[in-house]
Amino acid sequence: MLLVLLLLSSVLGGRILGGDIEVDYANAGSMTRLSFSFSLSSSLTRDDYLLIALPFPFHSQLIPAFPAIEGLSSPLGLLVTYQLMDGNNNVQPTLYYARTLTDTIDSSNYYVQFYGSDRKTIQSIPANQWYYITFQIQTSDPLTHQTSNSVLQVQMSSVSSVWPNAMVYDDNLAFGYFQLAATPSQLIALTVTPYNFGVAGGYLLTQQAYNLYLDVALSVPSYFYNQNLVLKFLISKENTFLFAGSCTSVAKTNAPQINALSASSFTCQLDLAMNQMIVTLTPAALATQQSFRFSVGMTNPPTIAQAVNIVVYAMQVNSPLVLGIGTASGVLNTNQLYVTYQ
């Protein structure tokens, strides 16, 4: 009997190798993306699954799975993607999507299969091929589950089915660990003013293009001003309002006045793929003022969207730690258009 158990362990006990766990923002309540690389010892067929146990739920609601699987649902508000890696550990640019299933609203265990480029055909996963997988939180509700100042664990297995008696091919119950810092303090005052919207209330129309003034006043500790400071502006709700055009520093002439920055003291770029506006302030800019006005284009969604926030994070270059946060609550809206027939 002991020999049989040892043989079974050797056949089914393959190892899953992994790289470092990466997050976009290393603070509880702010992390929306978690990524890591992995490689399996045993190949998976199209009927097999990756089982990934995360430290807290990444989804907000459940919707029926298609095709239907008894006892499991699709997690709404979670997007899982993957990329291939080459022999030099470089992540390849082509992004593929994954099918993801879970059992309950508060579960953090996810069954994952990889789609092909058509987003509907399940792919086999060969042994010893390195992949880079990303879990993207798309709504704010799951952020409340995140905890700080504790060791957070990721576990990973490859299994033959979604049932409790599934065969385990490979596993790594200590796949990876990470920590999140405390929720960032509200150290940034953010005010949003629309302009260039045409007729009165034009900025409330669906699909309207216009501009925004984003006024920022920093209360981040001054010892962070001795190197470049990054301000990341985000839209709180996915697939609604879009940053557009270009962005720059401008002057505010009415009280309280704000000086425009010189071209050498800042950069402002739009990351259209992530729908973010990214400003980098140099120590020279921070030495003269801590209040700034930026101008940026905005495009409204084609549907009704209400009470959407703009959020700004202050960070240091090449660091995922958020130093301070600012929120302009409910500043983006579109109104329903009423049509009267006579």
Give 2-7's long-range contacts (Cβ < 8 A, gap of 24+): none
pLDDT in tens, 44-100: 999 999 999 999 999 999 999 988 888 899 999 999 999 999 999 999 999 999 999
Report DSSP letters for 182-242, one per residue: PPPPB-EEEEEEEE---STTGGGSTT-EEEEEEEEEE-S-GGGGGS-EEEEEEESSTTS-E
Residues 203, 174 share a domain: no
The pTM (predicted TM-score) of the whole model is: 0.84
Is 116 part of any domain?
Answer: yes
Residues 99, 67 share a domain: yes
Q: Mean pLDDT of all residues in the chain?
A: 92
Nearest to 129 by CA among 243, 42, 58, 201: 42
Which of 62-71, 72-81, 223-232, 307-316 bottoms out in mean pLDDT, i.e. has the lowest?
A: 62-71
Residues 197, 165 share a domain: no
Which amino acid, one-letter code, is at 45?
A: T
pLDDT at 339: 46
Domain extent for 308: 188-332
**CATH code (residue 112):** 2.60.40
pLDDT at 140: 84
Domain count of the fold of the chain? 2
**Cα→Cα distances 67→13, 64, 74, 175, 283, Å:** 30, 9, 10, 30, 55
Q: Given 178, 206, 241, which residue is the final one in a domain?
A: 178
Residues 205, 138 share a domain: no
Helix (H) or strand (E) holding 22: strand 22-23
Nearest to 190 by CA among 91, 36, 312: 312
Residues 295, 247 share a domain: yes
Q: Given 178, 208, 232, which residue is the final one in a domain?
A: 178
